[in-house]
Amino acid sequence: MGWYRRTITVAAAPDGVEDRALILYFGAVDYQATVWVNGQWVDEHEGGYLPFEFEIGGLLQPGANDLVVRVADPTDSAARWPTSPFSKIPHGKQSWYGPIGGIWQRVWLEERNWL
């Protein structure tokens, strides 16, 4: 299991912009990611090969914000991982991989306008 922590700085919304979406985007995390912003649980994602995103605008404040990501990669322990043991997760031709979890691709914060 790995823990990642980063301070991210967010500017206040420009005048006239009342509602904006701030999307936290992950290129890939292997295998199970849990995300908190400023101590508030955001969501979880399971799967090591596809990108995912969370809308976190309501949890951010202008200035410094605390981002925490916990990453866990299953083992074959049935007690700890009863529904997704390592040997049951599809790995394609990389079957020689062991449980080596982490953030595998870029992470960024993207501002989007609500339509």
- 36-88 tens-digit pLDDT: 999 999 999 988 778 999 999 999 999 999 999 999 876 666 777 666 766 66
User: Residue 83: inside a domain, yes or no?
Assistant: no
- Within a domain: 57: yes
How many Å apart are CA 2 and CA 110, to the nearest integer? Answer: 24
Query: Does any domain span residue 80?
Result: no
| Within a domain: 5 | yes
Strand order of the sheet with strand 52-55? Answer: 52-55, 20-26, 107-113
Residue 4 resides in a domain: yes
Q: Which domain holds residue 31?
A: 1-11+20-74+99-110
pTM over 0.75: yes
- Determine, yes or no, domain membership for 24: yes
Asked whether residue 87 is assigned to any structural domain, the reply reads no
Name beta bridge partners: 32: 46, 72
Residue type, 76: D
Task: Retrieve residue 84's tokens.
Answer: 């997704």
User: What single-letter DSSP state applies at residue 92?
Assistant: T
Count of structural domains, the chain = 1
Q: Which residue has the higher pLDDT, 114 or 1?
A: 1
Q: Please give the share of the chain, as a percent, with pLDDT higher than 90.
A: 49
Separation of alpha carbons 84 and 34, rounded Å: 16
The CATH number covering residue 35 comes to 2.60.120.260
Task: Assess if residue 89 is contained within a domain.
Answer: no
